[in-house]
Amino acid sequence: MAAFRAKRGPARVTRHEAAGGAAVWLVEPDMGCSACLMEAGETLVLVDGGFACCREEMLSAMRGAVPDFDARRRLMLLTHADVDHSGLCALADEVWMSGTCLSGFVSEAAGGPNLRDRDAVQGAYERVIRHLTGYATPPLDRLRAVGRRSEGRDAPLAFIGEMTAGGLRFEAWEGLGGHAAGECVYIERRQRIAFTGDVFCNLKAQTPAQAAFNALSPILLGSVDDNKALAAMERRAFFDLLDEGEWQVFGGHGGRYVFTAT
């Protein structure tokens, strides 16, 4: 971790135009998750944040994309609670997530187990990474639940509610925990864009530095997914949710993926 922190470069930033005219800035640091930034009227919408130790390069990239970033109201959609996605929740005025995800933060803030701590190996790994990256539990007064998956529903992805900002409307679909408990994908149908967290990642479009860093977790954990079979079901279910035509999909790691649904 020290070696990666010492040699990492600036985040890669690419701008993409959605079908309805919305601009999406994809911000990819050398280590940690990709984050997205959109304008929704006077409000900025972020999807995920990344590691706490990447704060300066993420802020620099976002300020470069939107010069008045610091003066704008900011909402974040959090795809799941893993430390490489949730380390910068404090950048947002409100952070929206599944109720399952929120319950993990509440427990963590009270000194109890978070969602990863339920597994001995994953919990140990997360505790090491939290320490090395300077993670702090997000401020609870900023956290909001879009909704929560009903008990007993066995669909790979279940609709739990919507979050609206400006002219954008995001559907939230909670998974069964194939990658991580409480994980969500967010779909904006009018703009034909989707944000999948680690349910789907376009790993073929990683930079060499991203690929080198992301190779570490599978070695240490055996698998980055809680349940590989469930994770595969969720990926298939996600693409089945998309209306016919071309979509831009932004995953938790790697570049944009253009997909044509039939």
Mean pLDDT over all residues of the chain? 93
Rounded CA-CA distance 28/148 in Å is 29
For residue 213, the surrounding DSSP H or E stretch is helix 208-214
Per-residue pLDDT of 22-79, as tens digits, reads 999 999 999 999 999 999 999 999 999 999 999 999 999 999 999 999 999 999 999 9
Task: Determine which of 67-81, 201-215, 232-246 has the lowest per-residue pLDDT on average.
Answer: 201-215
For the chain, percent of residues with pLDDT exceeding 70: 97
Contact 96, 64 (CB under 8 A): no
Residue-wise pLDDT for 8-26, tens only, equals 789 999 999 999 999 999 9
What are phi and psi for residue 74, nearest 5 degrees? -125, 130
Give residue 225's pLDDT: 83
Q: What's the rounded mean pLDDT across residues 184-199?
A: 98
What's the pLDDT at 226? Answer: 85
Whichever domain contains 129, its CATH number is 3.60.15.10
Task: Kindly indicate the confidence band of residue 152, based on its pLDDT and cuts at 50, 70 and 90.
Answer: low
pLDDT of residue 160: 97
Q: Is 237 helix (H, G, I), strand (E, B) or coil?
A: helix
Is residue 200 within 8 Å of residue 80, measured between CB atoms? no
CA distance between the termini of the chain: 43
Residue numbers of the domain that contains 95 = 2-261
**Statement: residue 80 has pLDDT above 80:** yes
Are 237 and 199 within 8 A, CB to CB? no
CA gap 92, 62 in Å, rounded: 13
Distance, CA of 124 to CA of 126 (rounded, Å): 5
Q: How many CA atoms lie within 13 A of 6 on its CB side?
A: 3
- When pLDDT is averaged across residues 148-165 and rounded to a whole number, the result is 90
Looking at the 3D structure of the chain, how many domains does it have? 1
- At residue 234 the predicted structure's pLDDT band, cuts being 50, 70 and 90, is very high
Query: Under a CB-based contact definition with an 8 Å cutoff, are residues 45 and 168 in contact?
Result: yes
Report the 10 Å Cβ neighbour count for 207: 15
Within a 10 A sphere around the Cβ of 160, how many other Cβ atoms?
A: 20
